[in-house]
Structure 1
Amino acid sequence: MGKTRNFFHLHMVSDSTGETLMTVARAATAQYEDVQAIEHVYPLVRSTRQLDHALDEIEHAPGIILYTLVDPELAGRLEQAARAAGVPCVNILSPVFAVFQSYLNVRLTGRIGGQHALDADYFHRIEALNFTMLHDDGQIPDNLDEADVVLLGVSRTSKTPTCIYLANRGIKAANIPIVPDIPLPRQLGELRRAMVVAVVASVERIQQVRQNRILTLNAGGFENETYVDRRVIAREIAVTRKICAEHGWPLIDVTRRSIEETAAEIMSLYRAHKSALANGGAA
């Protein structure tokens, strides 16, 4: 028998997109076994009317309230309503603001959605995302050296979502599939700036993901039988390891890694790669 899950209502009230709240809430919830949050997200709450809508929902389904509201009047109303309902209410950025203000001795500006400003960093991320989408799955190999990272790997090792995550961090990432008996683009041997890294997973993991993919597509046939054959997958993995050993490219095992963890490892490698280039070392 499966364990019984305990459900609770989790209300997230934000004057911006709510992404910060959701990230913090899910990171916290993940630390508790057999607990599942029923999420209620209220983004772009910037008026009394919008806050009233959130308060009505909270009244009908009481639970923990997390919020990021810059407007002190709206924050005060939310706190007051929480006290009246007898539910916890936390401004998740308040302790961070306090530390910054104390250490830096600067005044809080109270900019709503400041992290989403249309500044140079924002447009750099958009440029990286456009590049990544154009260079997905081995497309347009001619200008690979314009990439920051070139990600290699066999089918179903999460190359595309990893590259998209990197692009959202401002890193131009191209990905190229590794297929035995099909040579890699010659441009890989001509790179001077881009960093090449490969990903690999266990036979069991790749087989499972590929089987799920086939079921999703409702596809069958001999070609798909080969696609999920353990011996074929094992050969693909062996080829990947051999290629990386021959070229000295780093190899990351993503069997038990999330996309975020894989991307974090790649970003760490890329920082070292950039530092080596800046110091005139080998790329």
Structure 2
Amino acid sequence: MVQKEVVYVVSDSVGETAELVVKAVATQFNGGQVEIRRNSYVEDIEDIEDVIILARKDHSIIAYTIVIPELKDYLDKRAMEEGIMAVDLLNPLMNAFATRFNKQPHRQPGLMRKLDEEYFRKIEAIEFAVKYDDGRDPRGIMKADIVLIGVSRTSKTPLSMYLAHKRFKVANVPLVPEVPPPDELFKIPRKNCIGLIISPDKLNEIRTERLKALGLGSKANYASFQRILDELDYAEKIMKRVGCPIINVSNKAIEETAGLILDVLKKERSL
């Protein structure tokens, strides 16, 4: 049985990046028959000394991703003293970035994992917004960071998605006179809910265009002025009952309204 060569992967974070690089290189040599021994979260010279002793014993390579200057310098110094080949996988490229872009790196371990976690939180929020869109499952109201309520065509869905990209879990509930609002709406803290209103003229314009896009007549009850007034009056009564802040979305871009929502919630939750 052929004994595998050993490569020590050393990192002041998880060490996944270094391990992936070592595996990629190893595949170019005899099908990647190397043993990778990962040493994660090294935070002092004693941790590095432990690896130096092992690497010297196994006559192996150290591949590392260390961004803390003191630890990197110590590992380089000790590896040279012991005749161990130590390969820095980050700093050459980091130095190139610093030179080319005239900026200095943060030199904080774990930043990439932090970015990954932010990404997955955003994906989770987007999936939440899709699942609890348009009041399809009232259970989402109790789980949401933000609940948007309003009549049809007050931008509830696009606002939910926009806020989801900022990692907020958003549920939205349409207010329709013929459909009682879910009980959950009256059980959440008022600071978690935002009511969206719009001027009757603007809503009439939006709904008329919507009907045209669907190939329907503009005189349908959906776009009639009286129907709109009835819906807005009903929605206002529900919003007052909930006791939530109210934002007028007339002639506002999604980004502008979202900014107002976050400002209002920040103010409400700081009280």
Q: Same fold (TM over 0.5)?
A: yes
Please say if 1:181 is aligned against 2:146. Answer: no
Report how far residue 219 of structure 1 moved: 2.2
Q: Does the residue aligned with 1:267 lie in a helix, a strand or coil?
A: helix
- The correspondence of residues 103-114 of structure 1 with structure 2, limited to 5 A, is 107-108=104-105
Report how far residue 151 of structure 1 moved: 0.3
Residue pair 2:133, 2:172 contacting (<8 A) in 1 also: yes
Report how far residue 116 of structure 1 moved: 11
Partner residue in 2 for 1:200: 197
Report how far residue 193 of structure 1 moved: 8.4
Report how far residue 232 of structure 1 moved: 0.9
Query: What per-residue deviation string (whole Å, max 9, x for no partner) do you get for residues 128-156 of structure 1?
Result: 11101100000111242110111001111
Give the alignment partner of residue 155 of structure 1, picking from 147, 152, 158: 152
Give the alignment partner of residue 253 of structure 1, picking from 248, 256, 265: 248
Residue identity opposite 2:253 in structure 1: S
Looking at structure 2, the residues matched to 272 and 220 of structure 1 have their Cα atoms a distance apart, in angstroms, of: 43
Count of equivalent residues: 173
Higher CA-based Rg: 2
Residue identity opposite 1:261 in structure 2: E
Query: What per-residue deviation string (whole Å, max 9, x for no partner) do you get for residues 146-195 of structure 1?
Result: 10111001111111001101101111111100111321001111224871
Partner residue in 2 for 1:230: 225
Residue pair 1:145, 1:193 contacting (<8 A) in 2 also: no
Task: Name stretches of at least 5 consecutive residues in structure 1 with no aligned partner.
Answer: 1-69, 76-93, 102-106, 277-283
Query: What per-residue deviation string (whole Å, max 9, x for no partner) do you get for residues 84-119 of structure 1?
Result: xxxxxxxxxx8xx8xxx6xxxxx2469xxx999852
Q: Does the residue aligned with 2:251 lie in a helix, a strand or coil?
A: coil
Please say if 1:166 is aligned against 2:166. Answer: no
Looking at structure 2, the residues matched to 246 and 144 of structure 1 have their Cα atoms a distance apart, in angstroms, of: 16
Task: Name stretches of at least 5 consecutive residues in structure 2 with no aligned partner.
Answer: 1-95
Residue pair 2:146, 2:194 contacting (<8 A) in 1 also: yes
Q: Does the residue aligned with 1:252 lie in a helix, a strand or coil?
A: strand
- The correspondence of residues 1-283 of structure 1 with structure 2, limited to 5 A, is 107-108=104-105, 118-192=115-189, 195-220=192-217, 225-276=220-271
Q: Does the residue aligned with 2:270 lie in a helix, a strand or coil?
A: helix
Distance 1:218-1:117 versus aligned 2 partners, 3 A rule:
farther
Distance 1:133-1:116 versus aligned 2 partners, 3 A rule:
farther
Distance 1:197-1:133 versus aligned 2 partners, 3 A rule:
same
Report how far residue 245 of structure 1 moved: 2.1
Looking at structure 2, the residues matched to 218 and 115 of structure 1 have their Cα atoms a distance apart, in angstroms, of: 49
CA RMSD of aligned residues (A): 2.9
